[in-house]
Amino acid sequence: MKEKLVSHSKHIINYANSFYYNYSHNKLAKSALKTIESIKGKTDPKLIEMSNTYAEDVLGWLGYAPWLRAHSAMIGEFKEGWIPENYFGTVVVPKLQGEIGRTSFLKPLSKKLFNSNMFPDIGYFVNGSFFTENYEYITDRNSILYLFKDTEKVVFKLNNSAQGIGVLVFDKKNYDYHKIKALGDGVFQKYIEQHSFFNKIMPNSVATIRVLTVLSKEGDASLRAAYLRVGRNKDSHVKSSSQISIPINLKTGMLNTLGHSKSWYTMDAHPDSGFIFKNEVIPNFNNIIKTALELQKAMSLVKCIGWDMVIDKDNNIQIMEWNGFHTGIGFAEFTQGPCFKDLGWEKLWK
């Protein structure tokens, strides 16, 4: 009887969470469609119909149609095989990521899990205490001496931080261990001096390259999407709310001619620096992809990972974080997708 009650309670909680998640995404998608149509004009009714039919017949629910409609409106066509963001979150994530995927929220574990020095970690704050990158205890007062011994600025990222929220930049003057203790667990990383290529785009914040990889049942890693994320003049770090995203050609590393704002506007140059995207190539791109694929194979328990990577001033690859739960496939899908058409994800709901 007790086991049945526990199971029933979990079912109710999961249903409530799923309902709210889908409601939130559909609200965002409908708002996106309204904005897109204010720019491009009314969407072809045939595209709306195709989106609705695909959502119902292939994905199993009309509630997956709103993002398909928005994507169709944005590019002027419907593409069979698209995975809507809310379908990914409610169907794909539980099946292929599961609770193990949540490990990526625990940032002090990343370097240890992958056994890689590409994570620029220099310390951690966990359960009320400070630690070195080797998990050795540091006193509260000595934390400033240790963290700033080789750098003038550090970045602190809270566990479960996402979309630039929960990320703080400190120097010696504004660092306060009391503030860290009030914020909670997280990782300290050295502030990366980025490659000169990215400084030309936006020098005020460190540009990140989002790489999406998947792992097949047979254990083969493959690249699915990549795009550059850059900040605005007023940002100390790249934030989801204001970032400019530019798709990257997966074979050449060349930037797309158009970048995209969060509000669905497109542009051929950075609005602050004037940097023109056309014909520009990401430095060290082949090694970025090679690294992402190697690390994806190393994390065989999680089938789809979004990597946030940086190229530093010495052309070295730095991995800022890995995202093994909600990897954020929406932008990649409508600009480079369908990215996952051959994987059978559209059947996972059955």
Question: Which whole-number Å values give the CA distances from 311 to 191, 288, 348, in the listed order?
Answer: 12, 9, 36
Enumerate the domain spans of the chain: 1-80, 121-190, 194-347
Residue 2 confidence (pLDDT) above 90? no
Are the C-beta atoms of 261 and 238 separated by less than 8 Å? no
pLDDT-derived band at 326 (thresholds 50, 70, 90) equals confident
Type of residue at 223: L
Q: What pLDDT does 12 receive?
A: 46
**Lowest-pLDDT choice from 160-174, 217-231, 281-295:** 160-174
Q: Beta-carbon neighbour count of residue 253 at 10 Å?
A: 18
CATH class of 194-347: alpha beta
pLDDT tens figures, 49-96: 999 999 999 999 999 999 999 999 999 999 999 999 999 999 999 999
pLDDT tens figures, 244-290: 999 999 999 999 999 999 888 999 999 999 999 999 999 999 999 99
Host H or E run for residue 36: helix 2-40
Q: Beta-carbon neighbour count of residue 147 at 10 Å?
A: 23
